[in-house]
């Protein structure tokens, strides 16, 4: 076993020092944060500085009120108003068109970034700006204007000022309610993001280390180092060493990412996962990692070039990607039978479970059964991989067919 540890140590240290590993180590969290955290972050805080707008109208009836309301109703987290609004009122003799033309010039000059055009008696309100993708502002204009118009009607009908104030309350409530819904959405996002982040992490971890394993095996094969290795220590020592070294590599990566994850989630005050879930996720991480290590060894050993090996390993990637594709349907209905069934397919178990755990904790028997299936699969996977490795790693002629490889596994 000392030789297996020597192999493990070598595999670990040489790969930890490699550029590919370092790049993956730092780049992956960056991508992950960019993908998972930033959209939510931006959605929550659409504006960070006040935006200057104008309200343009033929008369004084509504525009100043709208301007005042828009300015006072929405504030930034810093306490400053979200919108600074200036009313532009046409003099009685002035044509609105001229005023509009002036407003466009002032907008071009950068005095404000958009203006609202009110036409009395018309139900169409225009918002003109260079940036028209902002749905938030249109809904806010609608809400505010709706309130003002309602109050106006109340006054026109000569109703009590009390009724007016009473009417005012439900309008406010309605705005709050939308924000409540938004919070619900945030909850959904959080589950989605944490499930996604774990899936992506598992996927990237297995992919990068699996490919590293295959690449190093093929390198050793093509320059015949493997002959020296196999004559120096038994193929079992060699394989165990490789798996151990690579697992160490995976754990290093995981620990590093987890530290970043904890730091990031502490910073933004989001709890991605609770500790009980984390324990289970780590279990599936390790099981998945070991199983895929065996699969990658078996899949990579018979080939002589990286290209050939990649044709096979890219199919393995499909198995890893599948749960990512299934994330959204699983989110909608985490208890669906087909999701449960897929959780017991060894190639899918770790990722399916990583997907399910943050959404809805699987039942205890499912966890137990899937763990047993994984352990048994790892055991037989390692034996089969060892047999393929022993023969495949020395075969340099033509690539063996599937039948030939099956024969290797059977005869050992």
Partner 1 sequence: MLTVQDLVKRFSSVVAVNGVTFTVNAGEIFGLLGPNGAGKTTTIRMILHILEPDGGSILYNGSPFTEATRNVLGYLPEERGLYKKSRVMDTLVYFGELRGLTRTAARERAHLWLKRLELSGQENRKVEEFSKGNQQKIQFIASVLHDPSLIILDEPFSGLDPVNQLLFKDILLDMKQDGKAIILSTHQMDQAERLSDTLCLINRGAVVLGGAVRDVKQRYGKNTLHVEFDGDGGFMEHLPGVQRTLLYERSAELELETGAMTRTVIDAINPRVELRKVELLEPSLHSIFLQVVGDPADGQGEAAQ
7 binds partner 1 (CB under 8 A): yes
Spatial neighbors of 189 by CB under 8 A, at least 6 apart, are 40
Of positions 35, 98, 228, 341, contacts partner 1 by CB under 8 A: 228
The least CB distance from residue 228 to partner 1, in Å, is: 6
- The least distance separating partner 1 from the CB of residue 3, rounded to whole angstroms, comes to 6
Site membership for partner 1, residue 223 (CB under 8 A)? yes
Q: Which of 61, 71, 102, 234 binds partner 1 (CB under 8 A)?
A: 234
The residue from 38, 225, 276, 336 that contacts partner 1 (CB under 8 A) is: 225
Is residue 48 classed exposed, middle or buried when 0-12, 13-18 and 19+ CB atoms within 10 A define those classes? exposed
CB atoms within 10 A of CB 83: 25
Instruction: Give the pair of three-digit tokens for residue 384.
Output: 């089969």
Quote the least distance from Cβ 237 to partner 1, whole Å: 9
Q: Which of 123, 231, 314, 411 binds partner 1 (CB under 8 A)?
A: 231
Site string for partner 1, 13-32 (x = CB under 8 A): xx---x--------------
Q: Which of 95, 172, 227, 333 binds partner 1 (CB under 8 A)?
A: 227
Please give the sequence-ordered ranges of beta strands (E in DSSP) within 70-193, or none if there are none: 83-89, 114-118, 126-129
**218 lies in the binding site for partner 1 (CB under 8 A):** no
275-300 vs 235-267: helix crossing angle, rounded to 10: 140
Q: Which long-range contacts (CB under 8 A, 24 or more apart) does 270-274 make?
A: 270/37, 270/190, 272/190, 272/193, 272/194, 272/197, 272/358, 273/194, 273/198, 273/358
Query: DSSP 3-state assignment of 223?
Result: coil
91 binds partner 1 (CB under 8 A): no
Residues 337-396 that bind partner 1 (CB under 8 A): 394
- 224 makes contact with partner 1 (CB under 8 A): yes
The footprint of partner 1 (CB under 8 A) covers 3, 6-7, 10, 13-14, 18, 219-220, 222-225, 227-234, 394
């Amino acid at each position: 076993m000392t030789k297996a540890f020597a192999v493990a140590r070598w595999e670990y240290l040489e790969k930890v020092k490699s550029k590919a590993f370092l790049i993956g180590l730092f780049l992956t969290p960056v991508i992950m944060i960019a993908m998972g955290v930033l959209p939510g972050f931006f959605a929550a805080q659409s504006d960070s500085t006040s935006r200057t707008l104008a309200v343009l109208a033929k008369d004084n009836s509504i525009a100043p009120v709208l301007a005042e309301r828009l300015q006072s109703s929405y504030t930034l987290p810093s306490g400053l108003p979200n919108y600074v609004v200036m009313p532009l009122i046409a003099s009685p003799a002035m044509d609105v068109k001229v005023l509009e033309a002036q407003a466009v010039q002032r907008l071009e000059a950068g005095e404000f970034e958009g203006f609202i055009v009110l036409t009395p008696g018309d139900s169409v309100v225009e918002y003109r700006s260079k940036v028209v993708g902002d749905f938030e502002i249109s809904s806010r204009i609608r809400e505010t204007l709706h309130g003002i118009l309602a109050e106006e009607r109340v006054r026109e009908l000569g109703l009590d000022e009390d009724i007016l104030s009473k009417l005012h309350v439900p309008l406010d409530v309605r705005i709050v309610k939308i924000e409540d819904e938004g919070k619900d959405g945030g909850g959904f996002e959080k589950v989605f993001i944490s499930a996604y982040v774990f899936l992506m992490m598992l996927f990237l971890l297995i992919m990068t280390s699996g490919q590293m394993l295959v690449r190093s095996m093929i390198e050793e094969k093509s320059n015949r180092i493997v002959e020296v290795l196999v004559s120096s220590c038994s193929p079992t020592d060699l394989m165990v060493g490789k798996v151990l070294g690579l697992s160490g590599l995976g754990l290093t990566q995981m620990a590093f990412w987890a530290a970043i994850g904890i730091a990031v989630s502490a910073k933004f005050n989001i709890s991605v996962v609770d500790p009980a879930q984390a324990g289970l996720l780590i279990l599936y991480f390790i099981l998945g990692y070991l199983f895929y290590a065996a699969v990658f060894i078996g899949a990579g050993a018979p080939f002589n070039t990286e290209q050939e090996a990649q044709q096979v390993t890219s199919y393995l990637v499909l198995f890893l990607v599948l749960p990512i594709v299934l994330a959204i349907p699983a989110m909608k209905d985490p208890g669906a039978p087909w999701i449960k069934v897929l959780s017991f397919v060894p190639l899918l178990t770790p990722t399916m479970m990583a997907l399910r755990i943050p959404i809805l904790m699987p039942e205890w028997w499912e966890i137990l059964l899937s763990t047993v299936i994984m352990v048994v699969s790892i055991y037989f996977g390692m034996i089969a991989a060892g047999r393929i490795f022993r023969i495949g790693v020395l075969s340099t002629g033509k690539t063996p067919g599937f039948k030939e490889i099956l024969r290797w596994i059977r005869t050992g």
